[in-house]
């Protein structure tokens, strides 16, 4: 360590790495930002990137002026923070840790005694103490004696990343019995939430069970929604009443679960074991909701052969452009397989160039369609007028997967409204 503010090298400048590097730089640190993609590095050097987050553009530009340097090779630094992707290979039923290993090799080449290495990527429990430690120790240095190897997961929500990086509680853990004080000091310098300490494997585990809890709770809500349809009950009204109990907190049902975290992270708990039956069941329930949406539409229209349908919303959640694991694409594919003749997609936040579908304006998507399916809970959709739809649609069926529309108002306007 030096007597001045430590230098930090952030490995991976994606959805988490870039905001992390910017927050650190804007907190007064000298930060090196490295990404293995040369085109991405080149764009960042020009202040350009395709991650849409409120205020991130301004925040990154400020960081590039104040302390963030985009580099073509990892640099020597007192802290190395790894924020690389960890995709889940569903065909092999295991996590792809190749990016973590590559980052570990890059760190090993620059590692010195006294440095701190922190993994922030979402990984199966034991990765930091196992595969990453093995790779980094190829430097000839020991994680239990010569440097500190730790783990600290991010827990940010797309659309609110900068705020949550700085305000959410953090958990930090180390391997080899090393103290956590330097990790705590680093995060405490820019995080207003509490910093909790553990060993690295516990820290990895906590991140995964947080998202597995949400996934299983959503799956329970989705099961309730399906059962409610069988009994002719409003599922959301029933859930709201159930949640009046002080020890009950059921989440909301919907068309499926999207984003990188909730539909992916629980699978990491299955890595090299076959224990989590409940988690696997929850995944199947949530993955099956797009089919349930298609069934609702079929119940309303009968045979979907030759029908024209508008899908409102492509992003996986409201107010963002993120389409990772979005249920909208699965719904679209399912409807086409059922014979829908023309499918129109619209989204006020998503650009057609970024996805494999052509997007229309809201008005164009509604022209002469037999039905409209509201998929994403964008705030704009909550203020939609029945008259806008009545003036353009040839049919009168609305499937509202997010319960954003006032059913009484829309039914009074002549629409047949179905809610998940």
Catalytic residues: 207, 261
Q: How many Cβ atoms sit within 10 Å of the Cβ of residue 164?
A: 16
- Contacts of residue 368, Cβ cutoff 8 Å, sequence gap at least 6: 308, 392, 393, 394
Provide the token pair at 236. Answer: 């959301």
* Residues linked to residue 195 through DSSP beta bridges, in sequence order: 170
Residue given tokens 């630094």 in the structure block = 77
* Residues linked to residue 174 through DSSP beta bridges, in sequence order: 150, 199
| Beta strands, E only, 18-169 | 30-34, 68-71, 79-82, 88-89, 94-95, 116-119, 148-151
- Contacts of residue 164, Cβ cutoff 8 Å, sequence gap at least 6: 155, 156, 157
Rounded Cα distance between 193 and 189, Å, is 11
24 close to 190: Cβ distance less than 8 angstroms = yes
The dihedral sign for the CA sequence 16, 22, 28, 30: positive
- Contacts of residue 383, Cβ cutoff 8 Å, sequence gap at least 6: none
φ/ψ of residue 207, rounded to 5: -60, -45
- The alpha carbon of residue 194 and the mean position of all alpha carbons in its chain are separated, in whole angstroms, by 23
């Amino acid at each position: 360590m030096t007597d001045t503010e430590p230098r930090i090298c952030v490995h991976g400048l994606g959805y988490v790495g870039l905001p992390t590097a910017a927050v650190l730089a804007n907190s007064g640190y000298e930060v090196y930002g490295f990404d293995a993609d040369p085109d991405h590095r080149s764009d960042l050097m020009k202040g350009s990137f395709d991650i849409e987050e409120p205020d991130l553009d301004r925040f990154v530009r400020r960081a590039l002026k104040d302390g963030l340097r985009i580099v073509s090779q990892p640099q020597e630094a007192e802290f190395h923070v790894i924020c690389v992707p960890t995709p889940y290979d569903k065909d092999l039923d295991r996590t792809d840790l190749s990016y973590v290993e590559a980052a570990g090799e890059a760190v090993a080449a620059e590692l010195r005694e006294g440095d701190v290495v922190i993994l922030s990527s979402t990984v199966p429990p034991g990765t930091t103490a196992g595969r990453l430690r093995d790779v980094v120790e190829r430097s000839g240095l020991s994680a239990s004696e010569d440097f500190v190897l730790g783990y600290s997961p991010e827990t940010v929500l797309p659309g609110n990343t900068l705020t949550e990086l700085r305000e959410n509680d953090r958990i930090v853990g180390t391997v080899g019995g090393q103290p956590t004080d330097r990790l705590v000091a680093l995060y405490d310098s820019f995080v207003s939430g509490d910093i909790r300490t553990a060993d690295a494997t516990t820290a990895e585990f906590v991140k995964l069970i947080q998202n597995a809890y949400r996934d299983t709770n959503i799956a329970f809500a989705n099961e309730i929604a399906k059962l409610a349809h069988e009994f002719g009950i409003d599922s959301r009204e029933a859930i709201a009443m159930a949640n009046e109990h002080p020890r009950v907190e059921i989440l909301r049902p919907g068309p499926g679960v999207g984003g990188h975290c909730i539909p992916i992270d629980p699978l990491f708990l299955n890595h090299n074991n076959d224990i989590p039956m409940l988690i696997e069941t929850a995944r199947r329930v949530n993955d099956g909701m797009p089919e349930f949406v298609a069934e609702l539409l079929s119940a309303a229209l009968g045979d979907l052969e030759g029908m024209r349908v508008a899908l409102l919303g492509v992003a996986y959640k409201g107010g963002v452009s993120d389409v990772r694991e979005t249920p909208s694409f699965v719904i679209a594919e399912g409807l086409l397989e059922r014979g829908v003749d023309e499918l129109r997609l619209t989204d006020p936040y998503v650009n057609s160039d970024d996805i494999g579908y052509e997007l229309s304006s809201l008005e164009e998507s509604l022209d002469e369609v037999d039905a409209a399916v509201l998929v994403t809970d964008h705030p704009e959709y909550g203020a939609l007028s029945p008259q806008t739809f009545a003036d353009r649609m040839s049919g009168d069926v609305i499937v509202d997967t997010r319960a954003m529309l006032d059913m009484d108002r829309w039914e009074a306007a002549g629409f047949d409204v179905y809610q998940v």
